[in-house]
Amino acid sequence: MTLSGRECYHCKQWINEGEAHDCWTTTEAALTSELSEDLRDAWQRLRQTAAAFGDQRIYASHNSIMFARKSCYFFVRPKRSYLEVCVFLTRAVNAPQVRRVDQASKSKFVHFIRLTHRDEVEPPITDWLHEAYELSGTRIAAAAADTRKPKAAKKKTATKKGKASRTTVARRTKKR
């Protein structure tokens, strides 16, 4: 006799018909349960440091642990041999601790940092986390306005009597 059901295409778990299933729901404990002792110590110090900043939500979502005020200001992806910390700032930071920087939106840059030991959770990393925390409580666009380059004014190609503009000349030469 075969059981009716289906396999979840996310987690590949078999779900019997009528059984509730939500593989997107996870916990911090589940994400950090298989970490080595050094990584677990680094995680605990990172979490305590961020929690000391003030009021915020700390929650697990799929493979990450999110830290948010009005918006997420950083998250951690626990890996087998390191913690991948992704911090959102309004500027790109060039430092040896930052492995990669990507533009996340018009006003935010995401910085990828790898932590392998508790002693790495110190300035400047904690300073960047605090800066991101402060920015997440304000309007990011307003804070980022100072860092954006002003738009360059469009150049006008003025024409004098009898002289054609550059674009007109370029069109004429292409036709020939």
The residue with greater pLDDT, 84 or 139, is 84
Do residues 88 and 76 lie in contact, with contact meaning Cβ atoms separated by under 8 Å?
no
CA-nearest of 111, 86, 114 to 101 is 111
DSSP-derived pairing of the beta strands 72-78 and 83-89:
antiparallel
Q: Which pLDDT value is given to residue 141? A: 42
Per-residue pLDDT band at 150 (split at 50, 70, 90): low
Q: How confident is the model over 60-84, as pLDDT tens digits?
A: 888 899 999 999 999 999 999 999 9
Instruction: Assess whether pLDDT exceeds 60 at residue 146.
Output: no
Calculate mean pLDDT across residues 89-97.
96
Banded model confidence at residue 6, pLDDT cuts 50, 70, 90: confident
42 neighbors 115 (Cβ within 8 angstroms): yes
Tokens (6 digits) for 104: 């996340």
The domain ranges of the chain are 25-147
Number of neighbouring beta carbons within 10 Å of residue 109? 19
More confident residue, 45 or 60: 45
Please name the helix (run of DSSP H) or strand (run of DSSP E) that holds residue 89, with its range, or none: strand 83-89
Between 28-37, 44-53, 143-152, the lowest mean confidence (pLDDT) is in: 143-152
pTM (2 d.p.) = 0.67
Query: Which is more confidently placed, 44 or 8?
Result: 44
**Helix H or strand E encompassing 98:** strand 98-103
Residue 37 three-state SS: helix
Angle between the N-to-C axes of helices 125-136 and 37-51, in degrees from 0 to 180, rounded to the nearest 10: 40
CATH, domain range 25-147: 3.30.1460
Determine the pLDDT at residue 18: 76
In this predicted structure, what is the pLDDT of residue 143?
46
